[in-house]
Amino acid sequence: MFKFDGCLQGSHMRHISEALSFQVPGEETFQAIPKWPWFVFLSGAMGCLVCSSLSHLLACHSKRFNLFFWRLDYAGISLMIVSSFYAPIYYSFYCNPYAQFIYLTSITILGILAIITLLAPALSSPRFRSFRAALFLTMGFSGVIPATHAVILHWGHPHIYLALGYELAMGLLYTVGAGFYVSRIPEKWKPGAFDIAGHSHQIFHVFVVLGALAHSTATIFILDFRRRSPVCVC
């Protein structure tokens, strides 16, 4: 017979209750909820970074490759923006299937249209740089409506407030990154000095990664909130 101390036994029972999703006296209740929306976000984020890596690596091959891979890069950004919506919307409106369906369908359609638009060769030219940044920001800030709805729906839950704070941080980081992307700062101040390091596009990618990390943290808070919430009543 093995003898467990109080801490180990409590931890053991907690893991069992989480896995089987039933209540143990004195323990918190956890729901068994789908994890696929979280993996949608991770897949979209990794897909975006893969597209970006391929574009930076192979776009210099030829003019034809240059056009194709930069369009792929823009499509990858759209993919990550769309996939970022799935987990927060799915978990925030877990007990509100109609709102969940409307929001997820809307952002999916918007994302598909954006990807189709960005794959057009004409829009890959430098003169549409501002248009592309505006399109990305429009997609990102379209999340204001479901975010406001979620805060009203779950008013008073600290996890929702924390998640909202991180989502606002994500929006700020993406906006600052887009600002560098459009303004071409700092290379326009000193042409040639930032060709290897410090280019606006590199700064843009740093802010994209930071924004993705902020969004990941927000999603974890929402996921934890949903797991601790009462089971939905049909």
95 within a domain of the structure (yes/no):
yes
Percentage of the chain modeled with pLDDT above 70? 84
224 within a domain of the structure (yes/no):
yes
8 within a domain of the structure (yes/no):
no
> Helices 97-118 and 129-141 meet at what angle, rounded to 10?
170
Quick: pLDDT tens for 18-59: 433 434 344 455 667 888 999 999 999 899 889 988 988 888
pLDDT of residue 124: 65
Which has the higher per-residue pLDDT, 209 or 234?
A: 209
Dig out the tokens for 183 from the structure. 């303004």
H helix or E strand, kind and range, residue 85 = helix 63-92
Give Cβ neighbours of residue 90 (< 8 Å, ≥ 6 apart): 34, 37, 100, 104
49 within a domain of the structure (yes/no):
yes
pLDDT of residue 31: 63
28 within a domain of the structure (yes/no):
no
pLDDT of residue 92: 92
182 within a domain of the structure (yes/no):
yes
Taking 80 as the threshold, does the pLDDT of residue 135 lie above it?
A: no
pLDDT of residue 221: 92
Give Cβ neighbours of residue 197 (< 8 Å, ≥ 6 apart): none
∠ CA 197-43-227, rounded to 5°: 120
Which has the higher per-residue pLDDT, 4 or 192?
A: 192
215 within a domain of the structure (yes/no):
yes
The pTM of this model reads 0.75
7 within a domain of the structure (yes/no):
no
Domain extent for 197: 34-228
**Structural domains in the chain (count):** 1
Which has the higher per-residue pLDDT, 99 or 119?
A: 99
Taking 90 as the threshold, does the pLDDT of residue 90 lie above it?
A: yes
The torsion angle over the Cα atoms of residues 141, 145, 147 and 151, rounded to 10 degrees, is 150
Which has the higher per-residue pLDDT, 65 or 101?
A: 101
